[in-house]
Amino acid sequence: MVSHHCMSPENSRCRGALCRLGFVGVACIGLLLSGCSGKPAGNFKGSAAQPAFGEVSVDGKPAAGVNVTLVPVGGAKDGSPCAAGMTDKDGRFTLTTYAPKDGAPVGDYQITLSWIERIDKTSGLDAQPPEAQRLPRKFQSPTLSGLTAKVETGPNNLPPITVSTQVVAGPTQYRRAERD
């Protein structure tokens, strides 16, 4: 069984963003396909999604297939939606909240990362052993990952998220790149 913060009842708004990604084979998404709500949260600093995208590298290389989730600071308890995206072969992702690749609402977020290695390609992810997770466990927790982001009005090109398969200490703040 895969453990992920999005499966908790208090983070039910996360399910909507993750379900709309449509990436079959990612543990959190696969487990959360039922019970998705498509209704925007009405109380999250103006709930309209703003374009938001970025890139992830692991051990200095672009990482394909990393699930990036932005969880509102304080959790999704107040109806605040989560935003999520999946990295492509170049490590790039575009966030989804209400509709595919629409971005994320304005606000402060904690970032989680999940990167599953499919060991048995013929079985579902539920059958994968815990060691199939390629990143340290701390990156699966919004409070322990040390990764944060701020989404502002307008396009948000988040600075690159660089992590290691080795445990590293210290929080990192990711903000929209300043316009020239």
pLDDT of residue 75: 74
The listed range with the strongest mean pLDDT (17-21, 40-44, 51-55) is 51-55
Q: Strand pairing partners for 97? A: none
Average pLDDT over residues 89-111: 96
Pairwise pLDDT comparison (178 vs 82), residue with the higher score: 82
Count Cα neighbours of 152 within 13 Å in the Cβ-side half-sphere: 9
Determine what percent of the chain is predicted with pLDDT higher than 90: 51
For tokens 């969880």, the residue is: 71
What band does 127 get if pLDDT is binned at 50, 70 and 90? Answer: low
pLDDT at 117 over 90: no
pLDDT at 137 over 70: yes
Report field, pTM of the whole predicted structure over 0.95 = no
pLDDT of residue 3: 34
Average pLDDT over residues 139-158: 96
d(CA 14, CA 53): 18
Number of H helices, E strands in the chain: 2, 12
Residue 72 dihedral angles phi and psi, to the nearest 5° = -55, 140
pLDDT at 131 over 60: no
- Mind listing the domains of the chain with CATH numbers? 5-175 (2.60.40.10)
- Lowest-confidence region among 26-35, 90-99, 161-170: 26-35
The listed range with the strongest mean pLDDT (3-7, 17-21, 152-156) is 152-156
| 115, 28 contact by CB (below 8 A) | no
